[in-house]
Structure 1
């Protein structure tokens, strides 16, 4: 009798969501406490306003815009961090994905027409941006590895 291997998709998506939630929690806490904290929420709101403008769609009220941006951030970062996948290489992939997202968060907003200040205003802002995206990638990797260990224990007890 052939046994089927469980799908990697739930683990990847769940781990990605964990990384995105950690990243968002860090950003939202730090922006309230630290004057040089990155303001990725501002970049997200600018980006959403720009997209809605190009689509000739109505612009939402500020509170709605913020909530839509947070939901979009969690969804998009969750999908991005889901690339961590599973297996022993998850830590390496989480590190590389986190660093790439952090560097992109510092370098890309200006050329994309979103402004540079929210993630690039001081050296501390730049370092926090890279570090927090790295933490998101590591959180996704940690969640993936924990999921793998739990699945392995579950198989052994069956």
Structure 2
């Protein structure tokens, strides 16, 4: 697959991930709040450089854009490698991203509670990232079939 195809498929997966998260984030107290983790990370980064994002809507929109862009780039790597291992790569990348979202906040000085407060929220966090990775693989597979 071309790099552009991989990136567009990754964008599809990233959008799917965000649609799932945005649709479910307020359904129960156990659903993960990946947005809150991202907002904290962005605010701390901006503060490190001497700034601050005071408007909540601006912070939300900037975080959402950053999430989509970074996840699109991450998911785009799923298209690299042997086609027969596409689904395994997708699952592996999804699990790695989800586990990272749960385990990395604390060592990075962020509050892990929004994504790791309960076993259910942890499982859902991993599930969201796997779903986005599987959407990416599905798009890549559909493009490959169309070329055949």
Alignment root-mean-square deviation, CA:
1.2
Partner of 2:89: 93
Select the residue among 68, 74, 83 that pairs with 2:77: 83
**Distance in 2 of aligned mates of 1:62 and 1:145:** 39
Partner of 1:14: 8
Partner of 1:3: none
Count of residue pairs the alignment pairs up: 146
Q: Normalising by the residue count of structure 1, what TM-score does the alignment of the two structures yield?
A: 0.88
1:63 and 2:57 matched: yes
Q: Deviations over 1:88-143 (max 9, x none)?
A: 32211111100000100111111111101111101100000011111111111111
**Distance in 1 of aligned mates of 2:52 and 2:95:** 35
**Structure index of larger Rg:** 1
Unpaired runs of at least 5, structure 1: 1-6, 153-158
Runs of 4 or more above 4 Å deviation:
none
- Give the deviation of 1:72 after TM superposition: 0.3
Partner-residue secondary structure (3-state), 1:65: helix
**Distance in 1 of aligned mates of 2:93 and 2:51:** 33
Unpaired runs of at least 5, structure 2: none
Partner of 1:52: 46
